[in-house]
Amino acid sequence: MKKILIIGLAILLFGCKNAAEDNGKIKVVTTTTMLTDLVKNIGGDAVQVEGLMGAGVDPHLYKASEGDVSKLYNAEIIFYSGLHLEGKLVDVFERMEASGKKTIGLGEFINKDELISSKLFASNYDPHVWFNIQFFKQFANKVTNVLSEAHPEKLDYFSENNRVYQEKLDALEIEVKDKIETLPKEKRILVTAHDAFNYFGNKYGFEVVGLQGLSTATEAGVQDVQRLSDFIINNKVQAIFIESSVPRRTIEALREAVLSKNHDVTIGGSLYSDALGNPGTEEGTYIGMFKYNVNTIVEALR
C-alpha cells in the first residue's frame, strides 16, 4: 500500500517535469553497473541510460528509493538482470510491467537448460549469468532487439553497435582463455565472499567455493568459516578473494580461521562480482572488469 502511494506521488511530482527535459534520447533505466555499461555500448548517442546501482553496490540487498521509483516511472525501457538477482526489486518490476512499461529481465531469456540450478535461490537458478561471456553476448543481442523494436528507425545504428561489441566480447573470451591456460588445473580453486563465480568456474575449470552462498542475504555462520578453512588447508589453497560489493570482514574472518590452525592463506585481492569498478576506470566496464578479475585470480593462485 505504501509503495502504491509512493508511485502515485512520483507520477504527480515527476510526470510533468519529464516532458520539459526531453532531449530526444530514448530513456533507459538499468539496475546493475554491468547492464548500464552494456546499454551504453549498444544504445550509444541515441540512448540516455540511468543506472540505479553504482560501483560497489550489492544488488541482492538493494531496495528502491523514492527517487528510483520516479526514474523507473519516467523510463521508456527498463532492463534488469533478473533470475531474482535484484531480490528486493521484484515487486517494483512487476508493477512497472503491469502499468504497460517495457520491463525486461535479461537473464530470463537464457535457455534454462544452460543455467545452473539452485534450490536455495528464489528463482531456482544461479543469477550470476554475466560471468559466462556467451550469456552476456546474449544479453547484448536482446538489448539490441528491444531497442530496435521500440525505435525501428535506429535499427541499423543499434545493430552496428552490437556487431562491434560482439567482436570485442569474442576477443575478450580468447584473451581470458589464454590467460587461464597459464594456471595449472590443480590450482584452479576460487574461494570468494559469496557464490558469484559458478558460471565462471564451469566455463574455465575452476572449483568455486563461496563463503556466503548465492545471495549475500544469508550471512556466513561460524560453522561455514570452520568448514571452509579446513577445505583451504586440505586443498593447499594459496589465496582467497574479497569482493568489491561485499564487506571484507567475512573473508578476513576466514583468513583468521586458517591462521589459527597454523596455516597461511593470503588475500589475493578484491574481485568485482556483482558490480563493476568506478566509472571512468577500466574496471568500470564489463570488459575491463573481466580482464581485471582474471588477471587478479591467475596471479594470486599461480
Closest distance between Zn ion and the C-beta of residue 243, in Å? 8
Closest distance between Zn ion and the C-beta of residue 214, in Å? 7
Q: Which is nearer to Zn ion, 190 or 196 (CB)?
A: 196
CB count within 10 Å of CB 20 equals 6
Q: How far apart are CA 287 and CA 41, in angstroms?
A: 11
Considering only 146-154, 248-256, 266-274, 281-289, which stretch makes contact with Zn ion by CB under 5 A?
266-274
Q: Which is nearer to Zn ion, 158 or 197 (CB)?
A: 197
Is residue 196 at the binding interface for Zn ion, with CB under 5 A as the rule?
yes
* CA distances from residue 81 to 37, 136, 177, 207, 269 in whole angstroms, order as listed: 13, 10, 25, 24, 26
Q: Are 38 and 143 in contact (CB under 8 A)?
A: yes
Q: Are 189 and 237 in contact (CB under 8 A)?
A: yes
CB count within 10 Å of CB 61 equals 15
Considering only 42-50, 192-200, 222-230, 285-293, which stretch makes contact with Zn ion by CB under 5 A?
192-200
Closest distance between Zn ion and the C-beta of residue 215, in Å? 6
* CA distances from residue 49 to 30, 42, 129, 147, 176 in whole angstroms, order as listed: 7, 11, 22, 12, 28
Who contacts 26 (Cβ-Cβ below 8 Å, separation ≥6)?
43, 46, 47, 48, 76, 77, 147, 150, 151
Is residue 274 at the binding interface for Zn ion, with CB under 5 A as the rule?
yes
Size, binding site for Zn ion by CB under 5 A: 2
Closest distance between Zn ion and the C-beta of residue 216, in Å? 6
Is residue 243 at the binding interface for Zn ion, with CB under 5 A as the rule?
no
Q: Which is nearer to Zn ion, 196 or 289 (CB)?
A: 196
Q: Which is nearer to Zn ion, 6 or 196 (CB)?
A: 196
Considering only 73-81, 96-104, 189-197, 201-209, which stretch makes contact with Zn ion by CB under 5 A?
189-197
Q: Are 2 and 62 in contact (CB under 8 A)?
A: no
Closest distance between Zn ion and the C-beta of residue 133, in Å? 18
Q: Which is nearer to Zn ion, 37 or 274 (CB)?
A: 274
Considering only 18-26, 193-201, 220-228, 275-283, which stretch makes contact with Zn ion by CB under 5 A?
193-201
Closest distance between Zn ion and the C-beta of residue 196, in Å? 4
| 47-51 and 77-80 strand pairing | unpaired
Q: Are 55 and 277 in contact (CB under 8 A)?
A: yes
Closest distance between Zn ion and the C-beta of residue 117, in Å? 16
Q: Which residues of this protein are in contact with Zn ion, per CB under 5 A?
A: 196, 274
